[in-house]
Amino acid sequence: MHPRRRANPHPSLRLIAGCIAVALASASTAAQTPAQETPQPSRTAPYTIVSPPPTRAQHAMVVSVHHDASDAGIEILKAGGNAVDAAVAVGFALAVVFPQAGNLGGGGFMLVRMHTGAAHFIDYREQAPAAATAAMYLDAHGNVVPDASTLGYKAIGVPGTVAGLAYAEKTYGRLGLARVMAPAIRLATEGYILSDEEATDLAAARNLAAFPASRRIFQRDGNFFKSGDRFTQPELAATLRRIAADPKTFYTGAMAAELAASVQQGGGLLTAADLAAYQAKDREPLLGNYRGYDIVTAPPPSAGGIVLLEILNILSGYDLARAGMQNITAPDMPLLGDRTPQQVHLIVEAFRRAYMDRADYLGDPDFVPMPVQQLTSPAYAAAWRKSIQPVAPSPSATLTRPAGFLPPPPSGAYLPAESTQTTHFSVVDAEGNAVANTYTLNNTFGSGVTAGALGFLLNDEMDDFTAKPGVPNMYGLIQSAANAIAPGKRPLSNMTPTIVVGPEVCPPGPSLQCKPGKPLLVLGSPGGSTIITTVANDIISILDNGLNVQQAADAPRFHHQYLPDVLQVEKAFPLGVVEKLRASGYTVSRANQADEHNPGVWGSSEMIYIDPKTGTLLGADDQRHHFGKAAGY
């Protein structure tokens, strides 16, 4: 057990993915039942996943994929910081302790919802350098050059993380950048203890081995780190100190010149002018409603919020709780969590239709006009719902979009994708301010390139653009002309930081002095194209099916993205349900089924639920990883 982890860490899904048991609720779990945690659940689940109880706190909570980063956020909250201060601290700390996706050299999105009801979406997504061209990854014959957009210097987009975190701190934080960065600087200087999983990840990364500086720092020149080793990063510590003193140096100062020079020496496109031109953008979040709760979520250039709202709008016309109760006592129907054939069918058909629209219409809002209002319209969802059969799947090739709602889609539109190696964290403070943040390097450890002597990894985010319309990117998904590379453009993303909010509280009578609703759920996930479906299923698990927040995080996942026309399920997904879905006409793929040593999982739900009756915060750290933590006080 890691010496700084909580006293009773949960077992990893890597060990139990294939053999999670289902048990009837007992007296020992009654105190954790969703009937007490959810204000208006459709039902109380008559069964439960064998999960640890959620982590409880009365004042504030931080949940992230790494225990040291969660502790950094709690340190800042106890020092008088608010949720944004803590989120910025976690973001910089993850750049030290989770180099797989935590970063200075990548980008992402931060959703902020203040206790006053004001909500902000900070877009710090990477963007293409000015010298980027639509055909930059094609050879003389017009074919995609292997690895050109995923490995090395030409794969690097202009990083946005430092700009985004610095903007968030200056605009919405209290303590100042130097204070909130102190935990990250300490972790880089003094080091942190590696778990077996972390050491294995570092040693196995081939993209790190391809570049001398990365191999030296992260793989100790082939003398690989082992479990229990202390990993220090003095070069990164020095860089963090410089950013804490003056974040502008990353984009317009000496550090910008060093960064640009290191990329250009390797043959990349990034210039000092690209860095100087970069700005984080404070956008208006999208707002929807599901089961009486407000859904505050990500606008473009994330596709996540639009697709999430469309999915929930379609599903709002069904009694999912009743569908989830069907066959629960059948001896041939093993259940895990809240998954039944009928409920999965309805959810998958909503996924299929929303992802079809994502494929056809979405891109960077600064470059591509999008019918956001129409796509998220309840009337449009109702029209889609009429095409869903009660039992049989709708083959994707046969789908016809409801007429009269949307303009014709752009020609040559196909589904874009992004890496599964992203990370999400959630924060709620004692005042009720909440932050959901998702950010990424794209591929695991990004491009593999370390920025000269600055000590941090750089993204390979250019692969999120379309290298060639109709040709799959590194994740096998075909991309669109609407997502083509252009100077200064930000690639379409699936990242879906989301906050679910209760209704306004209004006094009796005609008074206009209503108080904003309080946050109920703060969530998000990594997982590439599966991010949106993971977030949707987490919301459904809690609001419709009555699972508590930890059970929802641990429930086996399923995903459909329109094309390819395949229902994907995690390896732990109940086989009885899989077989009934196949019998009804679905093509079902179980993740990594042929590899008995692979857990066959995706995503990582790092969620916070706030009990509306007691104000108790319940944190869920996804069991799919060994070293995450829900920390609170």
For tokens 């009720």, name the residue: 432
What pLDDT was estimated at residue 30?
A: 30
Which residue(s) pair with 111 in the sheet? 121, 436
Question: Please, what is the Cα angle at 428 between 422 and 433, to 5 degrees?
Answer: 115
Q: Would the pLDDT of 1 be above 70?
A: no
Number of Cβ atoms within 10 Å of the Cβ of 3: 6
Asked if residue 399 belongs to a domain, the reply is: no
* Per-residue 3-state assignment (H helix, E strand, C coil) for 290-311: ECCEEEEECCCCECHHHHHHHH
The H or E element containing residue 281 is: strand 281-283
- Bond from prior residue into 564 cis (ω within 30 degrees of 0): yes
| ∠ Cα 119 124 127 (to 5°) | 145
* pLDDT score at 360: 85
C-alpha span between 17 and 601 (Å, rounded): 8
Asked, for residue 526, whether it belongs to a domain, the answer is yes
Q: Report yes or no on 529 lying in a domain.
A: yes
Instruction: Name the band, by pLDDT with cuts 50, 70 and 90, for residue 392.
Output: very high
pLDDT tens digits for 137-179?
Answer: 888 988 888 888 889 999 999 999 999 999 999 999 999 999 9
Question: Does residue 329 form part of some domain?
Answer: no
Structural domain boundaries enclosing 557: 13-191+232-284+416-507+514-561+598-632
What is the pLDDT at residue 364? 80
The answer to pTM > 0.85 is yes
Q: Which of the residues 340, 422, 530, 616 is marked catalytic?
A: 422
H or E segment at 344?
A: helix 341-361
CB atoms within 10 A of CB 277: 16
Strand partners, 294: 289, 501
Give dist(CA 235, CA 248) in Å, integer: 19
Rounded CA separation 275/87 (Å): 24
Task: Identify the CATH number of the domain in which residue 531 sits.
Answer: 3.60.20.40
In the residue annotation, 422 being an active-site residue is answered as yes
Starting at the earlier edge strand, list the strands of the sheet with 567-569.
558-559, 567-569, 588-590
Could you tell me the two tokens for 170?
């200056």
Question: Cα(314)–Cα(318) distance, rounded to whole angstroms?
Answer: 8
> Tell me, what's the pLDDT at 468?
62
Q: What is the pLDDT at residue 138?
A: 87
d(C-alpha 48, C-alpha 51), whole Å: 8
The tens digit of pLDDT for each residue in 238-275 reads: 999 999 999 999 999 999 999 999 999 999 999 999 99
Phi and psi based region of residue 435 (left: phi greater than 0; alpha: psi -120 to 50; beta: remaining): beta
Q: Which residues contact 92 (CB under 8 A, 6 or more apart)?
A: 72, 104, 165, 180, 181, 183, 184, 240
Q: Is 482 a residue whose pLDDT tops 90?
A: no
Backbone angles phi, psi at 126, to 5 degrees: -65, 160
- Distant-in-sequence, close-in-space partners of 8: CB < 8 Å, separation ≥ 6: 52
In the predicted model, is pLDDT for residue 386 greater than 50? yes
pLDDT of residue 469: 58
Average pLDDT, the chain: 88
In a domain, 91, yes or no: yes
Six token digits for residue 150:
């995923």
- Percent share of the chain, pLDDT over 90: 73
CA–CA distance, 124 with 146 (Å, rounded to integer)? 28
> What separation, in Å, do the N-terminal and C-terminal C-alpha atoms of the chain show?
22
DSSP for 111-174 reads EEE-TTS-EEEEEE--B--TT--TTTTB-TTSPBPTTTTTSSGGGPPBP-HHHHHHHHHHHH-S
In three-state secondary structure terms, 396 is helix
Phi, psi of 559 (to 5 degrees): -155, 140
CA-to-CA distance for 304 and 210, rounded, in angstroms?
A: 33
With respect to residue 357, please indicate whether it lies within any of the assigned structural domains.
no
Whether residue 454 lies inside any domain: the answer is yes
Quick: pLDDT tens for 198-217: 999 999 999 999 999 999 99
Can you give the length of the chain in residues? Answer: 633
Alpha carbon 6 to chain centroid distance? 24
**Mean pLDDT to the nearest integer, 339-367:** 91
- Residue 250 exposure: Cα atoms within 13 Å on the Cβ side: 28
Chain segment 79-125, per-residue pLDDT in tens: 999 999 999 999 999 999 999 999 999 999 999 999 999 999 999 99
Number of domains in the chain: 1
Q: In this predicted model, what pLDDT tens digit does every residue of 24-51 receive, in sequence order?
A: 233 223 333 333 333 343 433 433 457 8
343 occurs within a structural domain = no
User: What confidence tier does 18 reach under pLDDT thresholds 50, 70, 90?
Assistant: very low
The pLDDT of 411-440, averaged and rounded, is 83
Under the banding of pLDDT at 50, 70 and 90, the label for residue 8 is very low
Confidence at residue 497, expressed as pLDDT on a 0 to 100 scale: 98
CA-closest candidate to residue 360, choices 402, 409, 406, 407: 409
